[in-house]
Amino acid sequence: MEYEWLGVMIKFDNRYGIESVDAFLRLYGDILREKFAENGSDSDSQGGYPDVIYFRPLPDEENEYGDVVVKLDDSVYISERQIGKMGFSMPELFAILAHELGHILYHTHPWGFDSEERADSLAAELGLGSQMISALERIIASRRFRNVTSALVRRIQFLQHLA
């Protein structure tokens, strides 16, 4: 899917045909286009965004940390195996995808608390705040990432204050 608005060209590339990404872009693509255009309209012509944002599968052999979804540079990698293992619903996955796109939209880097809050705010702006909270609660309950539980709780509290 390709969008241009106010001189900001955003192309979402799902060449691997990840069904959940197709559904996410069908539902939220227009809103995302507007958010990228609004956010990028005050700076250079592209807003500092990549020309293309890629959605790619995350194979098990390349997923040493057991990530569900991760953003690296201009790509969002998705582990369908980990999504199934964690039992995320489609709306929770949409919130997670919105969070990762929030890192690109707001030019943040993962794992700084302010950066994670800012990325979470895109999920809330798309009406997926409660789904992001549910996804974070599911991650906490899995006890897979115990070393960041307090940071995840703080993110939940932040999202609750946005509602």
Band (32; pLDDT cuts 50, 70, 90): very high
pTM of the model: 0.89
Over residues 67-94, the pLDDT tens digits come to 899 888 889 999 999 999 999 999 999 9
Backbone phi and psi for residue 25, each to the nearest 5 degrees, phi listed first: -70, -35
- Rounded CA-CA distance 64/116 in Å is 21
3-state secondary structure of 14: coil
Residue 16's pLDDT is what? 95
Q: Which residues pair with 79 in a beta bridge?
A: none
| Vertex 84 angle, CA 146 and 123, to 5° | 70
Residue 3's pLDDT is what? 42
Helix H or strand E encompassing 12? strand 8-13
SS3 for 33-49 is: HHHHHHHHCCCCCCCCC
- Highest mean pLDDT, choosing among 94-98, 104-108, 159-163: 94-98
